[in-house]
Structure 1
Amino acid sequence: MKIRFVGTRISRVLVGTALVVSGAGCAASSGGHAVAAAGRSDAAGGRGTVVSVTPVVHMSRAQVRAYLGGEGLASRPRGGVSGFKVLYRTVSATGRPTVASGVVVLPSGATGALRAVSFTHGTHAGRSTAGSVAADGQSRIAAVYYAAAGYAGVAPDYLGLGEGPGAHPYLDAASEASASLDMLRAARAVATRQGRGLERGVLVTGFSQGGQAAMALGRQLQSGTDPYLRLGALAPVSGTYDLRRAQLPASLRAQSSLDSRVSAFNLAYATVAWNRFHHLYKTPSEVFQAPYDTTAERLFDGSHDESDIFPQLPASPEELLTPRYLNWLKHPSGALLRAIRAADGTCDWAPDVPVRLYGASGDEQVTFDNTRNCVRTLRAHGTRPQVVDYGTGAGTDHFATLHRALPDTLHWFQTRT
C-alpha cells in the first residue's frame, strides 16, 4: 500500500490539504446506518447536541498498523479502533443555530474514561475531503493515530465542510473554536453511548489552519465556557497565527521563500470567504484580474477540491489579484482589516497549561514567522512555551512538519498525562 497526495504535484503543496490513502481494505468500514440522537451534552437541543452518529471506521490492530504505516507513521497500536461520523448542533459564524460534522475515533475493547485529543485540520476547499466524509482524510488519519494509542481522537470538520451546510468561513478563528468546542461536547455524548467517558482535560493540537484553530479552541476551553471540559495541554503545528504581520507579508513579498502558487490559492480562498462575511467587494473584478474574476467564486463554493482548483489559478498572487487589492492587502484597513483581525489574535492570551509549538523555519507554505510571533505574544503574557523548529533542508517542508509532529505530539502528550 502506498500513500500519496491527491492529484498532481501542485496539490501537494497546499496548506493542509487531505492526505490520501490508496489501496483497498485499509480503513475497513463497519457499515451500518446513522443512529439518531445518540445523546446530549448540552441543554436539550442546544450546542453540542448530537443529531446523528454513523459508523465509518472499524479496524483491527493489524489494520491500524498497516493503515498508519502506509502513511509513514510508525506506530504500536494498543488494539483496534472504531470511528464515527457525527453530526451535531453548533452556531454559525454569525451566531445562528446550525449543524456541523466531524469524526470521533475510539480505541476498541478497553474500558474506563478516555483522554480526548482534539485535532483541527489544515485547509480544505472541498467539503468532501473532510475527515468525517473521506476515509483517507487528513483529520481521520490523525484521529485514528491518537485513538490507536489509547486516546479518543476527535476531529471537527469546521463549518461548511463535511456534511455541514453553507459555505466554509475560512480563517475565521471564532467559528473554528466554537465548532471545535461543540464537537468535543458531541464526542463526550458519543463516547458515553459507547460505554466510555471522556476525562475533563482535553489535549489540543492542529495543523496549519488547524494550528490557528487549536490556539482559539485552547483559549475557549481555558475560559471555562464549558463547565465540564477544560484545557489539558496545547501543541499546535505550523499554524497561521499572524496573517497581518507574518503570513500576508511573506505571501506578497518579491523573492519570497513561500511557494507563490500556494500563496495565490490561499489568497483567493480567503478573499472569497471574507467577502461573504465582511463584504470586501461588490464585483469580483475589483479584486481578481481577468479571467479569474469570472471563476474564483465558483471554484471556492465547496464543491471543488484542490486538484480541481489549482490548474485554474495562476502561478502567483500578482497574476491573480488586481494592483489595487494587492496594495490593500499590504496596507489593510476597513473591512479587510476586520477580516484579518477575525483570524489573528489567537496567541494573545496566557495558557495555564503546558504549551509546545511545532514548525519548521524551512516551511514553504506557512512562514515560520507565524510561530515566532506567536511565541513572542505568549511570552508577553508570562507564558513560556516550548518551541520545536524542524529547521531547513530535507524533511522540513509544510507537510513534513505534520508527519513529524504527529508522533512528537503523541509522545509529548503521553509524558503530560
Structure 2
Amino acid sequence: MVAAHPATAATGQVVSVTARHTYPTRGDVDAALSADKFDPGTDRYGVRTYRLVYRTTDATGKPTTASGLVALPINDQRKLRTVSFGHGTSIYRGDAPSTSDDVFLTGPALTFASAGFAAVAPDYLGLGAGPGPHPWMDVPSETTASLDLLRAARVFARTEGRVLTRDVYASGFSQGASAALGLARALQAGADPWFRAAAVAPISGAYDFRRAEIPALFTPAVHPVLASAYTTYLLAAFDRLHDIYPTPGYVFRKPYVGLPELFDGTHTGQEVIEALPATIDDLLTPAGKAMLLHPAGRFAAALAEADSVCTNWAPRMPVRLYYSPGDEEAVNANTDSCHRALGAPKVDLGVNTSYNGFVHEGSEVLGVPAATRWFIELGN
C-alpha cells in the first residue's frame, strides 16, 4: 500500500486563520450557489468560511505549510460530522478554494456546510497560500495535505465552540476524486487516531492514467487543447518530482520546450491555454509520445502510484463512483476501471453542459448535491 508521509508533532498545527466570507442565512447560500449553477436543494443553514494555513509535509516528506478552506454551518449544533472535498485541477495558485471567490471552487464546501456538515477543502501543496510548485496528481502529498487540514480544522473548530466527530465523508472532483480515495484509504489504514472514513464519493476522476486517460489523450475523446494542457502538466509535474526525462527538449517539440515553466503556479490557466498548441501531436516529440504510450522506469512507477487509489486496497466503507457520460476530460473508462477494481457501484449523474459548455465541469455541479444527499442519508 502507498502511504502518506507519517505525521509528526507539528503536522496539522494551525499557523493562521483568516475569516473569508459569511453567508448569514440559508437564502444567502442559495443565492451564491444558484448563481454558479449548483443545486441549493440541500441547503439548511447559513455558512461562515475561513482560510487555514497549517503545517504539513511536502512531497519529499520535508516540513512545509499548506492552506485550505474550512466552512462551518451557522446553527446551534455543537458536534459536526465532516466532509473533506478535493478540488479539480488548477494551474494558477490563486485558483484554490481558500483564496478564490469562484463558487466552482468554494461551492462544494458551501453545499456541505449548509447541509449541516463541517466542510474542509484542501488547496493541496503549492496552491492557495502554500509555497512552491504544485506536485500535480501526487496522491501521497494530496493525502497528507488532506489529513493535516482535517487535524487543523479539528483544532480550529474548538475555538469556535464546535467539535468535529470521528466520521469523515470524503469526496472530490477530477484530480480531487483521486485525492478523496487516497484520504479514505489512509483513514481506513489508521493514519489518524481520531478520524475515520464513513463513506467516499469521488466524482469524475482520472483513476487509470496508464490504461485509460493517457491513451484517450491521443483520441478525439478528449478536447484537443485540454489534452495538450493535461499532458504538459503531467510531464512537468512528474519530472519535477521523479526526474522522468533528461531535458524538456526530449519530450516537447520546438517552440514548446519552455511550456513546463508556465506550470509553476504563477501563470493563469488562460495564459497557459493561449501558449499551448492546438493538438497533442504538435506538442510532443516522437520520444515524448512513446514515453507516454509505453511508460517505463520512474515514470511507470509514478503512474502506478497515482492509479493505486483504485487498485491496492479494499474499502470497508460505502463507496459510490459518480460520473457523467461523455466526459471529454476524465474519460469514462477511468470510472469503469475503478469500478472493476474496487467493485464499487457507478452512479450516472446525467449530463449538464451549462458550466462553460463542458460535460466534465458540469459533473461537479451535478455530483456535489448528489453526494450531499447520500451523505445525509448515510448519517440518518
Instruction: Please report how far the alpha carbon of residue 397 of structure 1 lies from its aligned counterpart in structure 2 after TM superposition.
Output: 0.8
Q: Which residue of 65, 85, 89 maps to 2:30?
A: 65
Instruction: Please report how far the alpha carbon of residue 139 of structure 1 lies from its aligned counterpart in structure 2 after TM superposition.
Output: 3.3
Instruction: Please report how far the alpha carbon of residue 67 of structure 1 lies from its aligned counterpart in structure 2 after TM superposition.
Output: 0.4
Q: How is 1:166-315 mapped onto 2 (pairs within 5 angstroms)?
A: 166-253=132-219, 256-294=220-258, 296-315=259-278
Q: Cα gap change, 1:180/1:149 in structure 2, threshold over 3 Å: closer, same or farther? A: same
Contact 1:202/1:231 (<8 A) preserved = yes
Contact 1:119/1:139 (<8 A) preserved = no
Contact 1:115/1:202 (<8 A) preserved = yes
Q: How is 1:2-21 mapped onto 2 (pairs within 5 angstroms)?
A: none
Superimposed CA distance per residue, residues 251-289 of structure 1 (whole angstroms, 9 cap, x where no aligned partner): 123xx3111111110010111111111112232111111
SS of the aligned residue for 1:116 comes to strand
| 1:118 and 2:84 correspond | yes
Code of the residue aligned with 2:70 in structure 1: it is: V
Instruction: Please report how far the alpha carbon of residue 59 of structure 1 lies from its aligned counterpart in structure 2 after TM superposition.
Output: 1.2
Instruction: Tell me the TM-score normalized by structure 1.
Output: 0.85
Q: How is 1:149-164 mapped onto 2 (pairs within 5 angstroms)?
A: 149-164=115-130
Instruction: Please report how far the alpha carbon of residue 411 of structure 1 lies from its aligned counterpart in structure 2 after TM superposition.
Output: 0.7
Superimposed CA distance per residue, residues 321-358 of structure 1 (whole angstroms, 9 cap, x where no aligned partner): 11111011111001211221231110121111111110
**What is the count of residue pairs matched by the alignment?**
368
Instruction: Please report how far the alpha carbon of residue 159 of structure 1 lies from its aligned counterpart in structure 2 after TM superposition.
Output: 0.5
CA distance in 2, matches of 1:81, 1:356: 27
Superimposed CA distance per residue, residues 98-149 of structure 1 (whole angstroms, 9 cap, x where no aligned partner): 1100010001132311010100000001100111111225332211111111
SS of the aligned residue for 1:414 comes to helix
| 1:345 and 2:311 correspond | no
Instruction: Tell me the TM-score normalized by structure 2.
Output: 0.93
CA distance in 2, matches of 1:342, 1:50: 29
CA distance in 2, matches of 1:413, 1:119: 13
Code of the residue aligned with 1:179 in structure 2: it is: A
CA distance in 1, matches of 2:144, 2:262: 26
Instruction: Please report how far the alpha carbon of residue 44 of structure 1 lies from its aligned counterpart in structure 2 after TM superposition.
Output: 8.3
CA distance in 1, matches of 2:364, 2:39: 14
Code of the residue aligned with 1:201 in structure 2: it is: D
CA distance in 2, matches of 1:319, 1:44: 46
Q: Which residue of 46, 53, 76 maps to 2:10?
A: 46
Q: Which residue of 371, 374, 378 maps to 1:409?
A: 371
Contact 1:120/1:139 (<8 A) preserved = no
Q: Which residue of 331, 337, 344 maps to 1:373?
A: 337
CA distance in 1, matches of 2:108, 2:149: 16
Q: How is 1:313-328 mapped onto 2 (pairs within 5 angstroms)?
A: 313-328=276-291
CA distance in 1, matches of 2:39, 2:349: 18
CA distance in 2, matches of 1:392, 1:144: 23
CA distance in 2, matches of 1:164, 1:247: 28
CA distance in 2, matches of 1:145, 1:390: 17
Contact 2:310/2:338 (<8 A) preserved = yes
CA distance in 2, matches of 1:108, 1:390: 30
Superimposed CA distance per residue, residues 357-410 of structure 1 (whole angstroms, 9 cap, x where no aligned partner): 10023101111111111011113xxxxx22112356967810111111111111
CA distance in 2, matches of 1:414, 1:199: 15
CA distance in 2, matches of 1:75, 1:143: 12
Code of the residue aligned with 1:187 in structure 2: it is: A
Superimposed CA distance per residue, residues 32-51 of structure 1 (whole angstroms, 9 cap, x where no aligned partner): xxxxxxxxxx9985111111
Contact 1:90/1:97 (<8 A) preserved = yes
